[in-house]
Amino acid sequence: MAFLIQHEWSLVGFFVVLFVIAISNLWGIPRLKSQDSRSSGLVSILIPMRDEGDNAAEAVACALHQDYPQFEVIVHEEGSQDHTRKVLESLNNKHLSVINGETPPRGWLGKPWACHNLAKAAQGELLIFLDADVRISPRAISAAVGELERRNLDLLSLLPHQITRTLGELLVVSIIPWALSSFFPLILVRLFGVARITATVGQFVLIRKEAYQKIGGHAAVRDSVLEDMELGKLAVENGLTLGLGFGDRLVHCRMYTGFRPAINGLSKNLFPVFGKHLGLFAFVWTYILYTAWQPIVVILTHPSSGVGREGIMLPALLTLSLSSALWAFTAIRFRASLVLAFLFPVVTVISWFIAARSAFWHLTGRGTWKGKSIHVSKEAP
């Protein structure tokens, strides 16, 4: 029993550490604020699209409606089976160009191929890679460029405010801001330049063109399903400075339209986040599941233990309270629903099964996204 009590107190310490990291990330992942940029150089807003018929018109309209003085919007469409191309053909604006792309060559995944072609067509000294489901306010580009200048960065990525319209979406997507905020002490990067701690979110990436060319662009990550994180790693290896921010009211996104698409999306991405190291991956997700449910089991199975210092009930209650408070903090910080403070054990169960599915997909060469395989063949044709 003494060991169990000590273990329970160790879980209290674990969540205290996570809380400290989350609080520090108020500065490590600052909110993007409306601000003017000193720069007036051309910005290229680059949007890859495939089967984005329901997003295309609004995504382009938001990108075109900017108060930044000089910008261009370039869209790359390839292989759509819906009405994406028809929507793009109906749009007419002097700032807009549309590339009707070709099928990715062998060894390339679709998104890196699209971004590679977008970058080749871009005329701007600053490049913004934007997912088609991201919506930006009229002040977003000025604010992002101003933040890049203020922090003297080579690359700035933004975590958009995640819009969830169903309970299923909330239970899946909420693990992203929680994990970023609680496990990545990005304040160390800002204060001490600790380069090994990096996080890049591909939904909104602003990078200087010379920096993009220095790291080899998307050609260097052509076969990566997590091309955003790989670009971030390459930037660090090449001595460039990175930053992460929260888009808040200036950048928002509905990543997935329902529970099943959300599961498929995270199944595509989770295992590569860990470099496909199965042991570490399995440990982390199992431990997250364990720490969410263990105090609940202890409380339910030791109802007569009491809350004295010598018993197990007090640390179990503290662990559960800290865990719930951390989720509440994340919800408030990233403007999600406070119901997460009560449903987080369910979130961890869903996340664990998604993690297992992600590992299965990548270890067996299975898994598709929008009808195409998430894997590439490197063999010659």
| pLDDT 10s digits, 305-336 | 665 566 788 999 999 999 999 999 999 999 99
* Strand, coil or helix: 50: coil
Average pLDDT rounded to a whole number, residues 73-84: 93
Least confident of 36-45, 69-78, 119-128, 278-287: 36-45
DSSP 200-264: --TTEEEEEHHHHHHTTGGGGGTT-TTHHHHHHHHHHHTT--EEEEE-TTTEEE---SSHHHHHH
In terms of domains, do 351 and 217 share one? no
In terms of domains, do 285 and 315 share one? yes
Q: Return the exposure string of 307-331: e unless at least 16 CB atoms fall within 10 Å of the residue's CB, then b.
A: eeeebbbbbbbbbbebbbebbbbbb
Q: What average pLDDT does the structure give for the chain? A: 91
Average pLDDT rounded to a whole number, residues 78-101: 92
Q: Give the model's confidence band at 47: pLDDT under 50 very low, under 70 low, under 90 confident, else very high.
A: very high
Amino acid occupying residue 34: S
Average pLDDT rounded to a whole number, residues 231-236: 91
Average pLDDT rounded to a whole number, residues 56-72: 95
In terms of domains, do 244 and 285 share one? no
The pLDDT, as a whole number, for residue 381 is 39
The pLDDT, as a whole number, for residue 208 is 97
Structure-block tokens of residue 378: 């490197």
In terms of domains, do 105 and 179 share one? yes
Q: Is the pLDDT of residue 4 over 90?
A: no
Handedness of CA 326, 32, 64, 94 (dihedral sign): negative
Average pLDDT rounded to a whole number, residues 139-151: 94
Share of the chain above pLDDT 90, in %: 78
Cα(296)–Cα(246) distance, integer angstroms = 32
In a domain, 266, yes or no: no
In terms of domains, do 295 and 317 share one? yes
Average pLDDT rounded to a whole number, residues 29-55: 90
The pLDDT, as a whole number, for residue 380 is 42
At residue 245's C-alpha, the angle toward residues 239 and 246, to 5°, is: 160
The pLDDT, as a whole number, for residue 305 is 64
Number of domains, the chain: 2
In a domain, 374, yes or no: no
Average pLDDT rounded to a whole number, residues 362-374: 84
In terms of domains, do 212 and 250 share one? yes
Global pTM reads 0.91
Average pLDDT rounded to a whole number, residues 266-278: 92
Q: Give the model's confidence band at 194: pLDDT under 50 very low, under 70 low, under 90 confident, else very high.
A: low
Which residues is 134 bridged to in the sheet?
A: 253
Q: Is the pLDDT of residue 183 over 70?
A: yes
More confident residue, 179 or 192: 179
Number of other residues whose CB lies within 10 A of the CB of residue 286: 14
CA separation, residue 127 to residues 14, 58, 143, 240 (Å):
40, 20, 14, 15
The pLDDT, as a whole number, for residue 66 is 94
CATH of the domain at 98: 3.90.550.10
Q: Is the pLDDT of residue 192 over 70?
A: no
Q: Is the pLDDT of residue 102 over 50?
A: yes
Q: Return the exposure string of 24-44: e unless at least 16 CB atoms fall within 10 Å of the residue's CB, then b.
A: bbeebbbebeeeebebeebbb
In terms of domains, do 184 and 284 share one? no
Task: Please say whether the beta carbons of 33 and 343 come within 8 A.
Answer: no
* Strand, coil or helix: 99: strand
The pLDDT, as a whole number, for residue 321 is 97
In terms of domains, do 250 and 279 share one? no
The pLDDT, as a whole number, for residue 34 is 87
Model confidence pLDDT, tens digit, residues 110-119:
999 999 999 9
Domain termination site, one of 256, 280, 310: 256
Residue 212, domain extent? 27-166+175-256
Domain termination site, one of 202, 230, 256: 256
Q: Is the pLDDT of residue 378 over 70?
A: no
